[in-house]
Structure 1
Amino acid sequence: MKILAFDTSNKPLSVAVVVDGKILAHVESTEQKTHSVTLLPDIKKSLQESNLTMDEIDLIAVAKGPGSYTGVRIAVTVAKTLADTLNKKLVGVSSLKLLAANGDKKHILVPLMDARNDNAYAGVYVVNRDNRLLTVIDDHHTPMKNLFESLDQFESHELEFINATPKLQELIKARFPKATIIPSENSAPDAAKLAKIAETTRVVKDIDSFIPTYLRLTQAEHDWYAKGNKEDKNVSYVEEV
């Protein structure tokens, strides 16, 4: 299977082309340019290095969030556009699950994204005998205090926190001194690993309805509801604005 995989949900950008488990191209960028500027050129570069055209790709895999609101929207929009216009299969993978792939399979894996003010996006995963990541606690947006309480069921040495910023590292060390911590600079998302996860992930059935996973309201939505507007499942927020 020929897979094009990419992730722009975090600061680093990662693109890979993987064919039958073999990495043919792998582009990673931490340049201070926006992902909207670099993603399509990096996809083109990856295809050229692989000696493939977009028409030859079988599956598009994208990290669907959570993460940077803008970054996630860019990746999902590009993935949907390519899949729809070129009639390609599409798979969306949790950005936290992708980070968990950087961990040691012997541990309870806790991928994190710092959401500021002692909050984080977090999930809890384990690796089974088939080397597949299984969800123990669903991805969610949470105060670190609440996350720690949910992790008290495990021994400190069993835990491995992935993508922890310096601030989150301080909080973790104070609560779980024997836990393993992988800092943010050593746990960048890897599109090649995204492609591997995508091989065993359910394909999106309706591309039009595929949307990013934010796990919390955007600032615009928060302000909208703060003004007294109520959520109505029958009314689109965007249409209302």
Structure 2
Amino acid sequence: MKILAFDTSNKPLSVALVEDGKTLAHIESTEKKTHSITLLPDIQKSLKESNLSVDDIDMIAVADGPGSYTGVRIAVTVAKTLAFTLNKPLVGISSLELLAANGDEGMFIVPLMDARNDNAFAGVYQKKQGKIVNIVEDHHTSMDKLLDLLQKYDEDKLEFINATQNLTDLIREHSHAKIITSEDSLPDATKLAKLAEHTEPVKDIDNFIPTYLRLTQAEHDWYEKGNKDDGNVSYVEEV
């Protein structure tokens, strides 16, 4: 099976073409350009390197959030468009689960995305016999609450993934657990393709949406003004 996988939910962009576990093309970019500009050209470049046309793809896999609002929307929109146009199955994978793929077997893996103001998107995972198992659902939380939640785990078995300098400093105030920084735990689209092989495709591509885990600032402001999503007028319809 030929899988086109990509992730733009984080600062780095990762695109891969994988066939039956073998990497045909893999492009990673940390250039300071918007993913909306680079994603499609990188997909085209991956196809060219693999000597494939887009029609040869059997499945589309995308990291569907949480993460950068704009980045997640770009990836999901491109994935939906390709899957619908080509009539191919689409698989969405948590961006945190993808980061957890960088963790070690036997550890309680805590993938992080810095959500600013000492907050983070986080979950808890374990690798078991090559599979990644979710133990604590992905959620948006303060680091204080997260570290309190993690007290029930053996500190020597905790492994934080994708910690920015600020998150690293906050963790170190309370724990000596293993930390893998953002620079050493970049999201990898080849691992995304591997995860997609064992994940059920999306049943309704039209209604497939990004996983944000918190309101955007615009939505927050809309609700603060007294608006309600009551089934008659929603934030999206209003905008």
Structure 2 residue aligned with 1:92: 92
**3-state secondary structure, aligned to 2:103:** coil
Further displaced range: 52-61 or 230-239: 230-239
- Asked whether 1:12 is paired with 2:12, we answer yes
- Tell me, in whole angstroms, the C-alpha distance in 2 between the residues paired with 1:157 and 1:233: 48
1:231 shift after superposition: 2.9
- Tell me, in whole angstroms, the C-alpha distance in 2 between the residues paired with 1:234 and 1:194: 38
Deviations 1:166-225 (A, max 9, x none): 111111112111x11000111110000000000001100110000000000011100001
Structure 1 residue aligned with 2:76: 76
Query: Mind listing any 5+ residue stretches in structure 2 that lack a counterpart?
Result: none
2:115–2:121 contact (8 Å) kept in structure 1 = yes
1:6 shift after superposition: 0.2
- Identical aligned residues as a percent: 71
Structure 1 residue aligned with 2:103: 103
How many positions carry a matched residue from both structures?
239
2:63–2:192 contact (8 Å) kept in structure 1 = yes
- Tell me, in whole angstroms, the C-alpha distance in 1 between the residues paired with 2:30 and 2:66: 19
1:164 shift after superposition: 0.3
Structure 2 residue aligned with 1:229: 227
Q: Which runs of 4 or more aligned residues in structure 1 lie more than 4 Å from their structure 2 counterparts after TM superposition?
A: none
1:233 shift after superposition: 4.0
- Over 3 Å counting, the alpha-carbon distance change for 1:234 and 1:93 in structure 2 is farther
- Asked whether 1:134 is paired with 2:117, we answer no
1:234 shift after superposition: 4.7
Structure 2 residue aligned with 1:52: 52
Letter in 2 for 1:185: E
- Tell me, in whole angstroms, the C-alpha distance in 2 between the residues paired with 1:48 and 1:236: 43
Letter in 1 for 2:193: A
1:219 to 217, 220, 225: 217
Deviations 1:114-152 (A, max 9, x none): 0111100001000112x1100000000000111111111
- Asked whether 1:114 is paired with 2:118, we answer no
- Asked whether 1:63 is paired with 2:63, we answer yes
TM-score (norm 2): 0.98
TM-score (norm 1): 0.97
1:43 shift after superposition: 0.1
**3-state secondary structure, aligned to 1:137:** strand
Deviations 1:82-110 (A, max 9, x none): 00011011000000000000111221000
